[in-house]
Amino acid sequence: MDHDARITRVNRTIETWGIGKVNEVDGLYVPDFLKCLNDNFADDAWTSDWHYIWRQIKTKGLVERKIEKEHSGKIYHYSLRKITDYDANKDQCYAVLIIDDITARQSVEKSLKDHALALEKEVNVRTRELQHANSQLEHELHAKKAANIELKESQDCRLALLRDLFTAQEKERKRIACELHDSIGQSLGAAKFKIEELLLEKRNFTDDDEYNQFNILVETIKTAVNEVRHIAMDLRPAMLDDLGTLPTLKWFCREYHNTYTGITVEPLLNIDESDISEDKKVVIFRIVQEAMNNIAKHANATNIALELSKSSCGITLSISDNGCGFDSKLKFGCNSNQPICSFGLSSMRERAESTSGKFAIESTSGSGTSVTVSWGNKDALSLDEKMTA
């Protein structure tokens, strides 16, 4: 358009839109042309403000508006730009008016906006659901954590009670063993000595039957003394406190073989006495005692392999036999006729756990049984403890 807002050139889009011919609009006043675009309806916001807009273009150089035609639903974007290097003496074109039909684009943008709003709403709903689920999960995790803490405290309390129980049990065993040895054993020994003294003083018995009765009495007292000594040793071997775990295990294996002559015991002790902490000495002996007594009662075994060793992983105790074995997946009651009484297994397991050990038993019917207890490195004696042991 020229300086008077009259059209100097127009493209053929006006023919596509059906609002005129290119050769018919030359020289037409722009506001009048816009009425054609508006189907001669009342002036829209652009045409009614034309004089204001025309003044704006002279100072700003660019004016843009978006106009929506209510009667047709069409949306147009108006852009009026002044030619920056306009020369009134040379140039016929003063400004350029570009009109774009953005109806389809606006529809797509609106659809995208509506979709974005719907998506945002869905995201918000999902976010609230996730927040609720997360809150529930945090609550469950907190409850689980509290339950785990309570369970650990309960387990620690149980282990402490087991340690106290076994300590009290061992003290009582030791006390009874001492009483048997020092009281009953001494009394029986004194009685035996007195009778033997009488036999020496009265060598010439007038009655042979009376002499024989005295000898039988001496033998009976000897048997009673040996039984008291055996019971005392079984309750609490004194050498466990005096000599340590390894000599006690060797002694126990010898006594075991003397009692059960059909069972060969192979002790393999690859560990130093100083490697065994004080709280494990009794535990190791009792587990060996319980396991080997079970073998004698139930396994019909002919060979036992006893191994106590120390490695970089810690201390391991293993008792294996070549007996009849059993199905380790089954649980047995103490009154059951099955191979092993569950009370014995529970006792061994509890003794192991009371010193932070791990108890395991493997057995198959006809293939023997293996009991293993392991203690990690943290349970082994430190170098300082060994030096002071």
Q: Which CATH architecture has domain 241-388?
A: 2-Layer Sandwich (3.30)
Residue 292 in tokens: 């080997």
Residue among 280, 218, 219 at smallest CA distance from 246 = 280
CA 345 to chain centroid = 27
Confidence bin at 339 (pLDDT 50/70/90): very low
- Residues 6 or more apart from 304 whose CB is under 8 A from it? 263, 264, 265, 266, 292, 295, 319, 320, 321
Sole residue written with tokens 């009667």: 71
The pLDDT of 365-369, averaged and rounded, is 87
In a 3-state reduction of DSSP, which class is residue 269?
strand
The pLDDT of 166-178, averaged and rounded, is 75
Tell me how far apart the 2 most distant CA atoms of the chain are, in Å: 174
The answer to whether 375 touches 315, Cβ cutoff 8 Å, is yes
Tell me which of 326 and 288 has the higher pLDDT: 288
pLDDT at 385: 46
Tell me which of 168 and 286 has the higher pLDDT: 286
pLDDT at 340: 45
Tell me which of 72 and 374 has the higher pLDDT: 374
Q: 3-class secondary structure for 51-104?
A: HHHHHHHHHHCEEEEEEECCCCCCEEEEEEEECCCCCCCCCCCCEEEEEEECHH
Range with lowest mean pLDDT among 104-113, 221-230, 272-281, 338-347? 338-347
Could you report the per-residue pLDDT of 126-155, keeping only the tens digit for each? 999 999 999 999 999 999 998 898 888 888
Residue among 1, 70, 79, 69 at smallest CA distance from 37 = 69
